[in-house]
Structure 1
């Protein structure tokens, strides 16, 4: 069943945006004195999206919405939610900037959610229950983040930037979400970013173990409650701070699975990891980038059950399931997303380090703006300014 009321609710449209520049992780490895295979095979990454000074959670979120805005009936829209852990203000919601930028009506409700990488999923389920109460309405959920750990740090390889936008509605065209998730939370210090710090503090090995422990807890609980096993899922999709993290979790799920199931789920995992491998960590958007990657690369998945694991440090975990809808491919923008990734500019280490250093001093950076889309144009009187090319 899809909800307590029997109403089918889920994802009707999906859009994405990533900055126009990337760093090849082999270049990063050589510059840091690391064997490239440690990054490409050991971590599972190939490219890392690098934001310009004009790319922030607002501009990227607005650009992700623009990807699907022509398909949205704004007269039905009742709510805009942004999930992020890269907040731009201690008080004002980034969603209000985004709402204004893309021209959404003032009558809609709008707010921001924070819980590390779980914020996008928190927004998704808030949207789900809003639509359950107001089936004539739709909700836009935006997950937008910039993952930063610092030059030369252990976490540098897991950086990235981008946004995913999702329209939530009744009778969705892409994925019906089942309202029977398993949740698990605890007060854990595996990753955090205190006020005033622009880079996160992380205990990488501990965070990996917590991630796997939380996954085992919610996955086993869900399967036990519903008499399911790995063979009953077409794909298992994960929050991917780096792609090997998801493979570690998949191996947990497959501990007692048959060989054929393991082969099938590992193949589908690789399809789901394709975008993340070439973009990097998107924090709140990571799981939904995995979902989009799988939907846009897999063979026809209509009618199939999938499982999704969302994790946010600190920590919160959720396992939920969904059913892929008939004709879902007609409502995806796979070709546009392929071109977005292919058309990016490859930058060298000098340019990467310059962009990283100047990212939080945009008003002092060289005057350079994109040729299309929304962008952050600086600060005037302590107020952030945005424009459209």
Structure 2
């Protein structure tokens, strides 16, 4: 009989790999085409641009390209990966998981557990927590987990939700002795059956009850934070004073503002103070703790499962050295709904790892679309021809034959 594995050390995020499509649409152009005041977008939802996935990109290609970047930047061998989870709500098959496509494209060993996770935008965090618990249990035997959050947020043309689209993926390598963020093993969770956002099996575009979804998000934040406080025996502590930054699931940047205001109001009530007296204090707290996390979200849009981790990658890249040794608070929400509030500490030396993620470079290299080009992408759908020219990526969608989706590698893991 195999001996029991002893306690492992700190567990957390070892590497982040980010990928966004090479196309971007300025929202002021879309606003003009739709007859919507641009202030409604820049101020009302806090967004400036949105990433647009062309017909030859899907959740698999986005995720594989993000994973390839994480593996290359982290100098990780595919043989080190013992658990491969893909979190998405825009999967490509009702039975065959996106994870098995990545398994082949990345050259991961056959002795690796692989599956696809779904709970709207929350499943990326579900994957990270499952991976962390797998490592803490000792079952990993020194191996790493690769969690890939990948999605295309797509809504009907001319709908009110059209301005909150986006696309992208973040690959999260979870390991013992992480080089970026050591995760606290105690988190707070909340779940409730609600219909705030959903996508029936026969629809390509999602349906959303926008105002109700905001209410559900904020109620879930209350519940998850309360559970987190109970787990840490701090029923009335001010979380806004414990962390160097607070990161929120960001379907649109203004949602992070609403969430932080809700958190601060709750802290004031717990301290016996009137939230109506918050005034400039709430704005200052937001500017210090939240605003620095939103740079990528403002110009990428909604990435569903990857949203929180895109914010983390941006913050780490921009403020890495200042964050070392300090704690972060993170809130993940998925419609339907399930939410989790958790925390972690940026480890010594994490700035060196964060500096190589390359989010800013990816964003700067994108090509701007016209509204006509964007609408043509939406009409063409997933069956469109492959491009004549495209950014050099690790892999691409190669078409459908006999109802089977095919993918091909176009680059090296070492690129």
Confirm whether residue 32 of structure 1 aligns to residue 54 of structure 2. no
Confirm whether residue 384 of structure 1 aligns to residue 405 of structure 2. yes
Q: Distance in 2 between matches of 1:368 and 1:25?
A: 27
Confirm whether residue 205 of structure 1 aligns to residue 211 of structure 2. yes
Contact 1:54 1:369 in 2 (8 A): no
Structure 1, 265-274 or 61-70: larger mean CA deviation: 265-274
1:132 aligned partner? 136
Contact 2:221 2:339 in 1 (8 A): yes
Q: Which runs of 5 or more residues in structure 2 are unaligned?
A: 1-5, 269-277, 411-415
Q: Distance in 1 between matches of 2:92 and 2:360?
A: 29
1:246-292: CA deviation from partner (whole Å, max 9, x where unpaired): 11000111224686686254333111111111100000000101111
Structure 1, 222-231 or 35-44: larger mean CA deviation: 222-231
Contact 2:16 2:357 in 1 (8 A): no
2:164 aligned partner? 158
1:110-137: CA deviation from partner (whole Å, max 9, x where unpaired): 1100111011111111111111122511
Confirm whether residue 118 of structure 1 aligns to residue 138 of structure 2. no
Of 90, 96, 103, the residue aligned with 1:92 is: 96
User: How far apart are 1:224 and its partner, in Å?
Assistant: 5.0
Confirm whether residue 15 of structure 1 aligns to residue 17 of structure 2. yes
Q: Distance in 1 between matches of 2:9 and 2:42?
A: 44
Confirm whether residue 277 of structure 1 aligns to residue 298 of structure 2. yes
Contact 1:15 1:333 in 2 (8 A): no
Contact 1:12 1:166 in 2 (8 A): yes
Q: Distance in 2 between matches of 1:96 and 1:292?
A: 25
Structure 1, 129-138 or 25-34: larger mean CA deviation: 129-138
Contact 2:188 2:231 in 1 (8 A): no
Q: Distance in 2 between matches of 1:152 and 1:269?
A: 31
Contact 2:247 2:290 in 1 (8 A): yes
Confirm whether residue 177 of structure 1 aligns to residue 171 of structure 2. no
Structure 1, 52-61 or 334-343: larger mean CA deviation: 334-343
1:196-232: CA deviation from partner (whole Å, max 9, x where unpaired): 1000111000001100111122123323553231211
- Structure 1 residues 180 and 55: alpha-carbon distance in aligned structure 2, compared to 1, 3 A threshold: same
User: How far apart are 1:6 and its partner, in Å?
Assistant: 6.7
2:255 aligned partner? 245
Q: Distance in 2 between matches of 1:371 and 1:56?
A: 15
Paired residues for 1:177-326 under 5 Å: 177-226=183-232, 227=234, 228-229=237-238, 230-255=240-265, 256=267, 263-298=284-319, 300-326=322-348
Q: Distance in 2 between matches of 1:366 and 1:89?
A: 20
User: How far apart are 1:371 and its partner, in Å?
Assistant: 4.0
1:80-114: CA deviation from partner (whole Å, max 9, x where unpaired): 10000001001111011111112222221111001
What SS does the aligned partner of 1:309 have?
Answer: strand
What SS does the aligned partner of 1:300 have?
Answer: helix
1:331 aligned partner? 353
Of 150, 173, 195, the residue aligned with 1:144 is: 150
Q: Which runs of 5 or more residues in structure 1 are unaligned?
A: none
Contact 1:144 1:164 in 2 (8 A): yes
Instruction: Give the structure-1-normalised TM-score.
Output: 0.94
Of 80, 83, 107, the residue aligned with 2:84 is: 80
Q: CA RMSD in A?
A: 1.8
Contact 2:144 2:173 in 1 (8 A): yes
2:365 aligned partner? 343
Q: Which has the larger radius of gyration?
A: 2
